């Protein structure tokens, strides 16, 4: 019997007065499962609009037979066009991470810093690249130029090097991986990173709302919006 996948998702606005994240799950005509998460930027109006436009355009493109690259191109175009003639939406954008699961294979594409985790064989690993300044800042720790605490609280840590804004994209992460029989995947907005990786691993088998509760339990000041989409095999 062919492997089938199911997904569940949820979100919370955290300590923010508004929600800028969007997410979707879609079962495609070939039986594969598509999941998309976008984390908007640009304030109350712009961020919410950008993430919704990006997700809707991405899913539509793939449902019409396009690949993940086509979905990203359409999402980028939709966000750019959505701001035209609307000064209140100027500069809006979004991160985007999407994955398509079919059989024992996952394909993904992403722009920005929203993480995509694989939990397998009792370990957690991030599959996609981080297009924020965090990797560069962490590299300064390895070179002895910053302490770990200075890096964690660096004001530029979450600055994005790339986002879906309608401009040409120069940083795109994409990949393919075969998955083991116990694999599950978590696609998130970066608000989930109030938990350390080992804490995410410990919560990964729980329902999505319990994972979100664990993030909220950290009681982090200025907690960002939280979106979690969990993907696992149908048993």
Check residue 86 and give its pLDDT.
Answer: 94
- Please give the chain's pLDDT, 235 residues, in tens: 578 999 999 999 999 999 999 999 999 999 999 999 999 998 767 999 999 999 999 999 999 999 999 999 999 999 999 999 999 999 999 999 999 999 999 999 999 999 999 999 999 999 999 988 766 776 676 777 778 787 677 676 677 989 999 999 999 999 999 999 999 999 999 999 999 999 999 999 999 999 999 999 999 999 999 999 999 999 7
* Cβ contacts of 14 within 8 Å, gap of 6 or more: 191, 215, 216, 223, 224, 225, 226
User: What confidence score (pLDDT) does residue 224 get?
Assistant: 95
Type and span of the H or E element at 184: strand 184-188
Two structure tokens written together for 125: 């690993």
pLDDT at 153: 73
Please state, in angstroms and rounded to a whole number, the distance separating the CA atoms of residues 99 and 33. Answer: 8
CA 4 to centroid of chain Cα atoms: 22
Query: What does the alpha-carbon distance between residue 176 and residue 56 come to, in Å, rounded to a whole number?
Result: 23
Between the CA of residue 75 and those of 19, 67, 163, what are the distances in Å?
A: 19, 12, 11
- Domains in the chain and their CATH numbers? 5-130+162-233 (3.60.40.10)
């Amino acid at each position: 019997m062919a492997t089938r996948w199911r997904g569940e998702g949820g979100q919370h606005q955290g300590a923010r007065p508004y929600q800028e994240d969007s997410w979707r799950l879609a079962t495609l005509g070939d039986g594969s499962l598509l999941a998309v998460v976008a984390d908007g930027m640009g304030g109350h109006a712009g961020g919410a609009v950008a993430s919704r436009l990006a997700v809707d355009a991405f899913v539509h493109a793939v449902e019409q037979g396009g690949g993940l690259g086509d979905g990203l191109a359409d999402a980028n175009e939709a966000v750019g066009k959505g701001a035209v003639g609307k000064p209140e939406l100027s500069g809006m954008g979004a991160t985007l991470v999407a994955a398509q699961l079919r059989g024992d294979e996952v394909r993904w594409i992403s722009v920005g810093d929203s993480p995509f985790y694989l939990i397998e064989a009792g370990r957690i690993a991030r599959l996609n690249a981080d297009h924020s300044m965090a990797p560069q800042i962490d590299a300064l720790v390895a070179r002895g130029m910053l302490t770990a605490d200075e890096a964690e609280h660096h004001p530029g840590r979450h600055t994005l090097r790339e986002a879906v804004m309608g401009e040409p994209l120069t940083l795109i992460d994409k990949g393919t991986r075969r998955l083991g029989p116990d694999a599950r995947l978590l696609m998130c907005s970066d608000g989930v990173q109030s938990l350390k990786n080992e804490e995410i691993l410990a919560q990964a088998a729980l329902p999505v709302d319990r994972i979100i509760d664990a993030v909220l339990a950290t009681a982090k000041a200025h907690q960002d919006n939280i979106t979690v989409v969990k993907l696992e095999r149908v048993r």
